[in-house]
Structure 1
Amino acid sequence: MELDKIDRAILIAIQADGRATNASLAETVGLSETPCARRLKRLEAEGYIEGYRAILSKSALKLGLVAFALLRFGVHDRQLADRFEREIQAIPRIISCHNISGSADYLLEIVARDLDDYGTFLRDVLRALPGVTSVESTLSLREVKRNAGLPMP
């Protein structure tokens, strides 16, 4: 089904505040509550909304370092890549992982307490992952823009 202007407004509003009540959401998009709730359920059922979550504070959780790691494989084998991807899923401090094109095979976003903590993680965990032959790290100095949600076409 095509998204209309109201559907897009609902998606924009819910990205900004996933805890918005149906009443406030309806008011924001200019609908009464029942049709707004129906549309929201339809958007969920059709897969436009995958879920809801809270954004946690890295500083409150004492995770002061964000690193981006480029991982390279020596051998490109499907079974090895599958094993690597399964293991990545079980490591909480890796907050995103992308299979990429270019000179590296994967790009990981990782959080750590500090540089020493990241160094230990790099040595003991990243370099020990199946298939990994090299790791290149880039450290974030500050976050300029946080994931603000997807743009609406």
Structure 2
Amino acid sequence: MLDEIDSRLLAEVQKDATLTSDALGTRLGLSASQAGRRRQRLEAEGYITGYAARVSPDRLGLNVQAFVQVQMASHDPKAAQAFAGLVALRPEIISAWTLTGEADYLLRVWCADLPGLNRLIHQVLLPHPSVSRVQSQIVMDQFKPDAPLPT
């Protein structure tokens, strides 16, 4: 069970994963060793699953973000496994979800440009034997950046 200090610790490391135990302790009103032990416990218990840097898509030349809905022609487990394997190999697909409703999958993609998105859809996704339909929505603006989880 998380107490109030654990919740605050999770909020702080989601804002800045590079915090030292000393800085984290200062923010939480704990000693550095107490803060470090709490963070280690939360990591061991699976509350903290990893640390990552946020990288600027613009600086990498990635100018088009899109959400791509994929409807499968077959719901055979082997077809789903093959599609998941394809998704795993494509670096421009940065996350994927299985959905309820009309679409079976939702893919979040980043491409350098519209021709790159077109190639992904028409040369990679649509030719896959288990895909029947692809629909994309191009992101015009992300006015709320990916936020920390509520704690």
TM-score band w.r.t. shorter chain: over 0.9
Alignment of 1:56-71 (within 5 A): 56-71=55-70
Is the contact made by 1:95 and 1:108 (CA closer than 8 Å) also made in structure 2? Answer: yes
Structure 1: tracts of 5 or more residues without a match: none
Is the contact made by 1:83 and 1:130 (CA closer than 8 Å) also made in structure 2? Answer: no
| TM-superposed deviation, 1:130 | 4.3
AA partner of residue 101 (structure 2): G
CA-to-partner distance for each residue in 1:102-147, whole Å, 9 max, x for gaps? 1110000010011111111211112133411110000000111121
Q: Which residue of 1 aligns with 2:86?
A: 87
Distance 2:127 2:133 in 1: 10
Distance 2:83 2:115 in 1: 24
Structure 2: tracts of 5 or more residues without a match: none
Alignment of 1:114-133 (within 5 A): 114-133=113-132
Alignment of 1:1-153 (within 5 A): 2-152=1-151
AA partner of residue 78 (structure 2): Q
AA partner of residue 105 (structure 2): Y
| TM-superposed deviation, 1:67 | 0.7
Distance 2:39 2:129 in 1: 42
Number of residues of Structure 1 aligned to a counterpart in Structure 2: 151
Distance 1:105 1:145 in 2: 26
Distance 1:73 1:117 in 2: 22
Distance of aligned partners of 1:130 and 1:33 in 2 relative to their CA distance in 1, 3 Å threshold: farther
Moved over 3 A (4+): none
TM-score (norm 1): 0.95
What is the percentage of aligned positions where both structures have the same residue?
37
CA-to-partner distance for each residue in 1:15-63, whole Å, 9 max, x for gaps? 0001111111111111011111110000000000000010010000010
Distance 1:18 1:45 in 2: 16
